[in-house]
Chain A
Amino acid sequence: MARFVVRRLVSMLIVLFAVSLVTFFIFQVLPNGDPAVRMAGKQPNETQIEAIREEWGFDEPVYVQYATTMEKLFTGDMISYFTQLNVVEEIWKGLPRTLALAIGAAILWMAFGVALGLYTAMRAGRVSDTLLTVLALIGISMPVFWIGALMNHYLGFELTKTLGFELFPNGGYVEFTENPLEWLHHLILPWIALSILFIGVYSRVLRSNVLDTMNQDYVRTARAKGVSERQVLLRHVLRNSLIPVVTLWGLDFAVVIGGGAILTETVFNLQGVGQYAADAIGQLDVPPILAVTMFGAFFVVFFNAIVDIVYAYLDPRIRLEESSA
């Protein structure tokens, strides 16, 4: 197991390096036009552009530029030319909010996705299965920013008008330290909006896994041993069905933090990292987007490594497989 962990972490470092290269490539090498102009955003002025060119070393060879960019990122010495605020600081400020959104949604969608998946698997072929599968499909087909915006408006705004009190708030974020209850209150709709898509996906994946697992020989053996049906379902069917789902969950969670939350935060005005990036897009303000992209991808790579290690712990067969790349 230890060897596996070491191998996995080394592989992770290589990918991180590659990610930094690709990010640099996307922003500095690939696009056409003057990089300094691009960095300055939608409404640049001449002096700014010159200063930027100097600071980022756009006259230097490519590898020097790369080094400069990485240095600025990792020492936290990058500012947005539009807002004049330090990029890394802003990311730190928004991070707890993004985490609150992502973690809450991840728990919600896992719980409901698994429950729904198990339920539809047990009732496969019947009407309830078809109905719920259709609902899952609709859930998958709805863009999160659209359903989120509508939920925010109709449940947060219109419903408040009708009821006279605020059953759901109309967007915004309340710090946990200020008011835990309100913090929760403001996250309910965003959590639901973000989860809908994933519940749809997970319920179908789990349903498929459960149906496959139920026909496995080892389930038959377990029954032949006289194990109670409930234990068979939990210890054999569910346990084995969940293994691939756990990896998926890790992947999706990392992706949500790394970028998927952007849309939900924007729509509900949660002022997290995602919204920070989204605001920058409107102004074509490059530095925040560069930083968020790279750190987002970093997080995904790092988290994936953790998930792989957990998976190897859960499914012992994997540990032997990692002999060569």
Chain B
Amino acid sequence: MAARDETLGPDRGGSEFSPSLEIELTAEERRAGLAGAGPYRLAARRLRRNRIALSFGGLFIVLVLACLAAPLWADHVAHRDYRDIPGSSETVTKGGEEVFVVGLDGVPIGPTWRGEYFLGADGSGRDVMVRLLYGGRNSLLIGIAATLITTFLGLAIGLAAGYLRGWVDNALSRLLDVIWAFPVILLGIALGTALALGGLKIGPLEVSGSSLAIPVFVIAVVYIPYLARPIRGEVLALREKEFVEAARAQGQGPLRIMFSEIGPNVVTTLIVFFPLLVANAVLLEAALSFLGAGVQAPEPSWGTMISDGVDRVVSAPHLAVVPGVMLVLTVLALNVFGDGVRDALDPRAKVRIEH
């Protein structure tokens, strides 16, 4: 039992004099008898009590579900396709009248607040709401898929480099350094543009240039160092710990040790990073698609929609505003939830992602 430092410090809303320093339990948690609980149970409980983080997490789930329901909306409510450009005489009932979806002056209609063209039409006459949902589906799919790949590869590389050290570490670290040297957007653009025309061919696997797999691949690669480096650092620190030495003494091979001993300890880092990585991936996809190096027309994504909207911002600003708002909400939800997860696991962790 040792007295804490009682010098002046901003009141962090907790007790500055806590008899036990080992696990930072709050008074409530102690009363609830959680003293011996494992770290994940403790974290889960803390997270459950963080209503703000939970509500934003819920918001993200709602957004995902809404976007997944895109085909339902398109078929049963809006009766419009998300890709096909309707003819120039396409009309819809608005305010009791039949109006052209795209007016004679080239200005598309605004929101009808009804099933068809709920949020109005875009410059080509397509239903904005339908494209919004399909675009969201694409953006989220790409973001999550890319993050999964990044996690898998980043974990593998980080583990290998950190644990095996020697020339493996050298080679992998150099590779990470080089990828890291490229600014994220630039690398994304380079890869996106290079692959857009002819596509990608790795061995027997051939992917066309307009496939969604290309942005997934691009974004996944770009973010690998952001995960691999911290993991490598953790592994380097962990490998000197007693339980690893014990495992080694028992004759367990390196692969086995990596998975059974070090892996679980690294999981915390992964859990904290994941929501933040998804947020960044979604933002990167939007940026790349905005520039034309990501999702290729006519497939929608929130990025391409913002791009189309910006082209027409003078006559129909809502075309740019709406997809942007969806993007901000999604990323914000992930950021707040990610913050909550990090606070729950370790209120004083220094984990952060540089942009």
A–B contact with Cβ pairs below 8 Å: the answer is yes
A residues bordering B, Cβ < 8 Å? 15, 18-19, 22-23, 26-27, 30-34, 37-38, 42, 121-125, 137-138, 140-143, 145-147, 149-150, 153-154, 157, 197-198, 201, 204-205, 208, 211-212, 214-215, 217, 219-220, 223, 248, 251-252, 254-256, 258-260, 262-263, 266-267, 277-278, 280-282, 284, 286, 289-290, 292-293, 296-297, 300-301, 304, 325
Q: Are B194 and A31 in contact (CB under 8 A)?
A: yes
Give the distance in Å from the alpha carbon of A52 to the alpha carbon of B306 in the complex: 35
Q: Are A293 and B283 in contact (CB under 8 A)?
A: no
In the complex formed, the residue of A with least CB distance to B333 is: A141
Q: Contacts A31-B195, A146-B306, A286-B193 known; A141 to B291 CB distance under 8 Å?
A: no
Nearest chain A CB to B278 CB, angstrom units: 12
B206 within 8 A of A: yes
Nearest chain B CB to A71 CB, angstrom units: 20
Contact with A along B165-199 (1 / 0, CB 8 A): 00000100110011101111111011111111111
Give the distance in Å from the alpha carbon of A262 to the alpha carbon of B284 in the complex: 13
Q: Are A297 and B194 in contact (CB under 8 A)?
A: no
In the complex formed, the residue of A with least CB distance to B214 is: A31
| 16 additional A-B residue pairs with CB within 8 Å, beyond A34-B198, A143-B286, A262-B185 | A19-B182, A30-B194, A37-B197, A137-B339, A138-B332, A142-B324, A149-B320, A154-B317, A157-B314, A198-B355, A220-B7, A255-B184, A259-B187, A260-B184, A260-B185, A293-B187
Q: Are B181 and A19 in contact (CB under 8 A)?
A: yes
Give the distance in Å from the alpha carbon of A296 to the alpha carbon of B183 in the complex: 8
In the complex formed, the residue of B with least CB distance to A154 is: B317
B354 within 8 A of A: yes
Q: Chain A interface: which of B8-16, B67-75, B107-115?
A: B8-16
Give the distance in Å from the alpha carbon of A145 to the alpha carbon of B290 in the complex: 8
Give the distance in Å from the alpha carbon of A79 to the alpha carbon of B26 in the complex: 65
Give the 3 A-B residue pairs with the shortest CB-CB distance, closest first. A33-B198, A259-B186, A259-B183
Chain B residue numbers with a CB within 8 Å of A325 are: 170, 173
Nearest chain B CB to A291 CB, angstrom units: 11
Chain A residue numbers with a CB within 8 Å of B354 are: 201, 248, 251-252
Give the distance in Å from the alpha carbon of A208 to the alpha carbon of B12 in the complex: 12
Chain B residue numbers with a CB within 8 Å of A42 are: 197
Give the distance in Å from the alpha carbon of A149 to the alpha carbon of B173 in the complex: 38
Give the distance in Å from the alpha carbon of A56 to the alpha carbon of B107 in the complex: 46
Chain B residue numbers with a CB within 8 Å of A252 are: 354-355
Q: Are B339 and A123 in contact (CB under 8 A)?
A: no
Q: Are B7 and A219 in contact (CB under 8 A)?
A: yes
Nearest chain B CB to A325 CB, angstrom units: 7
Q: Are B181 and A32 in contact (CB under 8 A)?
A: no
Give the distance in Å from the alpha carbon of A258 to the alpha carbon of B181 in the complex: 10
Q: Are A258 and B197 in contact (CB under 8 A)?
A: no
Q: Are A259 and B335 in contact (CB under 8 A)?
A: no
Partner of B189, one of A142, A150, A293: A293
Nearest chain A CB to B51 CB, angstrom units: 13
Chain B residue numbers with a CB within 8 Å of A220 are: 5, 7
Q: List 20 A-B contacts (CB under 8 A).
A: A15-B174, A18-B177, A18-B178, A19-B181, A26-B190, A32-B206, A38-B197, A137-B332, A137-B336, A142-B324, A142-B328, A146-B286, A150-B320, A197-B355, A198-B355, A204-B352, A262-B189, A277-B186, A281-B192, A297-B186
Contact with A along B337-355 (1 / 0, CB 8 A): 0010000000010101011
B262 within 8 A of A: no
Q: Are A259 and B12 in contact (CB under 8 A)?
A: no
In the complex formed, the residue of B with least CB distance to A123 is: B10
Nearest chain B CB to A188 CB, angstrom units: 19
Partner of B313, one of A153, A201, A263, A296: A153
Chain B residue numbers with a CB within 8 Å of A297 are: 181-183, 186
Give the distance in Å from the alpha carbon of A30 to the alpha carbon of B207 in the complex: 12
Chain A residue numbers with a CB within 8 Å of B199 are: 31-33
B129 within 8 A of A: no
Q: Are A38 and B287 in contact (CB under 8 A)?
A: no
Give the distance in Å from the alpha carbon of A141 to the alpha carbon of B63 in the complex: 16
Chain A residue numbers with a CB within 8 Å of B283 are: 143
B293 within 8 A of A: yes
Give the distance in Å from the alpha carbon of A37 to the alpha carbon of B194 in the complex: 11
Nearest chain A CB to B217 CB, angstrom units: 10
In the complex formed, the residue of A with least CB distance to B306 is: A146
In the complex formed, the residue of A with least CB distance to B311 is: A149
Give the distance in Å from the alpha carbon of A32 to the alpha carbon of B191 in the complex: 12
Chain B residue numbers with a CB within 8 Å of A34 are: 198
Chain A residue numbers with a CB within 8 Å of B317 are: 150, 153-154
Nearest chain B CB to A323 CB, angstrom units: 15
Give the distance in Å from the alpha carbon of A286 to the alpha carbon of B321 in the complex: 31
B279 within 8 A of A: yes
Q: Are A262 and B291 in contact (CB under 8 A)?
A: yes
Give the distance in Å from the alpha carbon of A286 to the alpha carbon of B198 in the complex: 13
Give the distance in Å from the alpha carbon of A156 to the alpha carbon of B287 in the complex: 22
B47 within 8 A of A: no
In the complex formed, the residue of B with least CB distance to A146 is: B324
In the complex formed, the residue of B with least CB distance to A209 is: B350
Chain B residue numbers with a CB within 8 Å of A23 are: 190
Q: Contacts A125-B12, A140-B335, A259-B189 known; A146 to B327 CB distance under 8 Å?
A: yes
Give the distance in Å from the alpha carbon of A297 to the alpha carbon of B191 in the complex: 14
Q: Contacts A252-B355, A281-B193, A289-B189 known; A138 to B182 CB distance under 8 Å?
A: no
Give the distance in Å from the alpha carbon of A282 to the alpha carbon of B297 in the complex: 11
Q: Contacts A33-B199, A219-B7, A248-B354 known; A141 to B184 CB distance under 8 Å?
A: no
